[in-house]
Amino acid sequence: MRNLAWWQSAVIYEVYPRSFQDSNGDGIGDLDGIIQRLDYLVKLGVDAIWVAPVYRSPMADFGYDVADYCDVDPIFGTMQDFDRLLEEAHRRDLKLILDFVPNHSSDQHPWFLESRSSRENAKRDWYLWRDEPNNWMSNFGGSGWEWDRQTNQYYYHSFLKEQPDLNWRNPAVRTAMYDALRFWLDKGVDGFRVDVMWLLVKDDQYRDNPLDPHFAPGQSSGNSLLPVYNSNRLEVHNVVAEMRAVIDSYSRRVLIGEIYLPMKDLMTYYGQNLKGANLPFNFLLLQSAWNAQAIGQVISGYMSSLPPGGWPNWVLGNHDNARIATRVGHSQASIAAMLLLTLPGTLTIYYGDEIGMTNALIRPEDVQDPAEKRQPGIGMGRDPERTPMPWDCSEMAGFTHGRPWLPLVADHRAVNVEVEEGDGASILNLYRRLIALRGARPMLVGGQLRSLTTSGDLLSYERASENERLAIFLNFGHGLVQVATEAGTVLAGTDSRRNTERVHNFIELQGSEGVVVEVVS
């Protein structure tokens, strides 16, 4: 197999830093906490961590409102702590990917304070100011325009009013942002996950968006219009190509884009001549119905839509979506793990999913997420999937000595790292085995995917190289399934007792069971 870049064969692990490990008892995870848990990640077998924003921030959107792109928020630690994290990660051969939030800053960022100070200020045009609002909405619901009393104009915010959108048509903004990228690249970070990449550029004529005919009452009002003029504008690709050029002026770095768009549009973010994002995040597994047919279609549809040379990637969870074990249920979470870890390309796992962590129930008085506060009770809140990582059976699950900023998930005494490490049949040990298998069989990363078929609840496909063939069988249902197969040996089963089992001409799968079979040909 040809030589791959590190990020092409990587399993990336997303750390939501507030909830990973608290080191000083304030109930909020921090950089020192991440350092303490690096060995756990090495043992899990992942190659890279993507850390959600740790920049200086008033935390209106928990770090996605940046007040200084080149500093660390004291809640998370100091720049020395950051440097130590980078060093300790690299010492263990783990790459470190930072979140980069270019679409908007905090309203407390000195750039915005200047911009809003007067219409004549040199930074006025760094943000989107208008005399009259148009109909563009905030993605968190309600109008996206905020009236500024002092200068009698409105500014646009795609999210909270505390997150004013930067004007990416202004070359000075671009230069300043690329300087921020270089600041971290010079330190040695291995790449960036770019927040809301597809939103960066807006229509220069500020045309009104059309109504979305599919909008139904009860949904977020942010979905009432089709975002034709404030998202996915053609000019965004110039910006992405410029970011990529910055990244490429360093060696061995990666540019990942957060992009929620239909498949055809998503693929354009690989860029002309593949000079856009190395990895436009593929969220199909998060969005698809959970059955063999739907997942089969998602896989073939995605693989056949990739531009020539475009590298595939798959995401099973993140800090904005319901956890996989909640979405598909405990028993199917193992199938999801086996599916993810046998797909081609780069993979992203969300912290806690490897132990089968579920969404937590958040009482109204515990709500933290501004998305929930802005539109309560319609399912916009992301607190349920952001609760502290349960490490052990102690009262606060080994996450903190204090009071955690979000409650622990109710079953933390049963579903935690300590318990699962000691249980050979746990999902944690399944993840470890599957990640190790992927490392041992590079064809799982870069080999062919073929013979994908579905029949009832069964999804099967083959991964193949010139001299190896692995057949994957996944039972998405709860009943017994029998399937004809070639002879071989089970390399990994969701039921670990099946490992090394010899298979002759058929195999039986219990409900929610999956196996990887090495076919002898």
What are the residue numbers of the active site? 195, 258
Q: Which residue is nearest to ligand NOJ (CB)?
A: 64
Q: Which stretch binds Ca ion (CB under 5 A): 16-24, 34-42, 369-377, 422-430?
A: 16-24
* Spatial distance between the Cα atoms of 426 and 212, rounded to a whole number of angstroms: 45
> Minimum Å distance from CB 61 to ligand NOJ?
5
What pairs with residue 146 in β-bridges?
155
Is 244:221 a contact under the CB 8 Å cutoff?
no
195 binds ligand NOJ (CB under 6 A): yes
> Minimum Å distance from CB 159 to ligand NOJ?
5
Q: Which is nearer to ligand NOJ, 260 or 473 (CB)?
A: 260
Binds 37: which of Ca ion, ligand NOJ, none (CB < 5-8 Å by kind) = none
Binds 22: which of Ca ion, ligand NOJ, none (CB < 5-8 Å by kind) = Ca ion
Among 10, 28, 185, 194, binds Ca ion (CB under 5 A): 28
Q: Which is nearer to ligand NOJ, 37 or 319 (CB)?
A: 319
Q: Which is nearer to Ca ion, 198 or 391 (CB)?
A: 391
Structural tokens at position 186: 């010079």
Considering only residues 142-161, where is the footprint of ligand NOJ by CB under 6 A?
159
Considering only residues 20-49, where is the footprint of ligand NOJ by CB under 6 A?
none
Considering only residues 38-67, where is the footprint of Ca ion by CB under 5 A?
none
Binds 24: which of ligand NOJ, Ca ion, none (CB < 5-8 Å by kind) = Ca ion
* Spatial distance between the Cα atoms of 59 and 163, rounded to a whole number of angstroms: 10
Q: Which is nearer to ligand NOJ, 294 or 367 (CB)?
A: 367
* Spatial distance between the Cα atoms of 29 and 17, rounded to a whole number of angstroms: 5
> Minimum Å distance from CB 269 to ligand NOJ?
15
320 binds ligand NOJ (CB under 6 A): yes
30 binds Ca ion (CB under 5 A): yes
> Minimum Å distance from CB 92 to ligand NOJ?
26
Task: Find the length of the chain.
Answer: 521
Q: Using CB atoms within 10 A of its CB, is residue 330 exposed (0-12), middle (13-18) or buried (19+)?
A: middle
* Spatial distance between the Cα atoms of 26 and 8, rounded to a whole number of angstroms: 37
SS percent in the chain: helix, strand, coil, step 5: 30, 20, 50
Is 100:193 a contact under the CB 8 Å cutoff?
yes
Closest by CA position to 102, among listed 161, 140, 53, 136: 53
* Spatial distance between the Cα atoms of 520 and 504, rounded to a whole number of angstroms: 10
- The dihedrals phi and psi of 304, each to the nearest 5 degrees, come to -85, -10
- The dihedrals phi and psi of 178, each to the nearest 5 degrees, come to -70, -30
> Minimum Å distance from CB 326 to ligand NOJ?
18
Binds 61: which of ligand NOJ, Ca ion, none (CB < 5-8 Å by kind) = ligand NOJ
32 binds Ca ion (CB under 5 A): no
Beta strands in 63-157 (DSSP E): 68-72, 95-100, 129-130, 145-148, 153-156
Binds 495: which of ligand NOJ, Ca ion, none (CB < 5-8 Å by kind) = none
196 binds ligand NOJ (CB under 6 A): yes
Is 515:490 a contact under the CB 8 Å cutoff?
yes
Binds 146: which of ligand NOJ, Ca ion, none (CB < 5-8 Å by kind) = none
| DSSP state, residue 512 | T
What pairs with residue 448 in β-bridges?
464
Q: Which is nearer to ligand NOJ, 14 or 513 (CB)?
A: 14
Give the torsion sign (CA, 189, 190, 194, 197): positive
* Spatial distance between the Cα atoms of 141 and 374, rounded to a whole number of angstroms: 7
* Spatial distance between the Cα atoms of 347 and 341, rounded to a whole number of angstroms: 7
Q: How far is CA 35 from the centre of its chain?
A: 21
Binds 28: which of ligand NOJ, Ca ion, none (CB < 5-8 Å by kind) = Ca ion
311 binds ligand NOJ (CB under 6 A): no
Q: Which is nearer to Ca ion, 7 or 399 (CB)?
A: 399
Binds 73: which of Ca ion, ligand NOJ, none (CB < 5-8 Å by kind) = none
> How would you write 388-439 as a 3-class SS string?
CCCCCCCCCCCCCCCCCCCCCCCCCCCCCHHHHHCCCCCHHHHHHHHHHHHH
81 binds Ca ion (CB under 5 A): no
* Spatial distance between the Cα atoms of 87 and 69, rounded to a whole number of angstroms: 20
Among 4, 26, 407, 483, binds Ca ion (CB under 5 A): 26
Among 59, 101, 340, 397, binds ligand NOJ (CB under 6 A): 101
Closest by CA position to 201, among listed 161, 172, 229: 229
* Spatial distance between the Cα atoms of 340 and 461, rounded to a whole number of angstroms: 13
List, edge to edge, every strand of the sheet that includes 488-493. 448-455, 458-464, 469-475, 514-519, 488-493, 502-503
24 binds Ca ion (CB under 5 A): yes
Q: Which stretch binds Ca ion (CB under 5 A): 23-31, 241-249, 256-264, 489-497?
A: 23-31
302 binds ligand NOJ (CB under 6 A): no
Binds 369: which of Ca ion, ligand NOJ, none (CB < 5-8 Å by kind) = none
Among 7, 9, 14, 22, binds Ca ion (CB under 5 A): 22
> Minimum Å distance from CB 196 to ligand NOJ?
5
61 binds ligand NOJ (CB under 6 A): yes
64 binds ligand NOJ (CB under 6 A): yes
Binds 64: which of Ca ion, ligand NOJ, none (CB < 5-8 Å by kind) = ligand NOJ
Return residues touching Ca ion (CB under 5 A).
Answer: 22, 24, 26, 28, 30
Return residues touching ligand NOJ (CB under 6 A).
Answer: 61, 64, 101, 159, 195-196, 258, 319-320
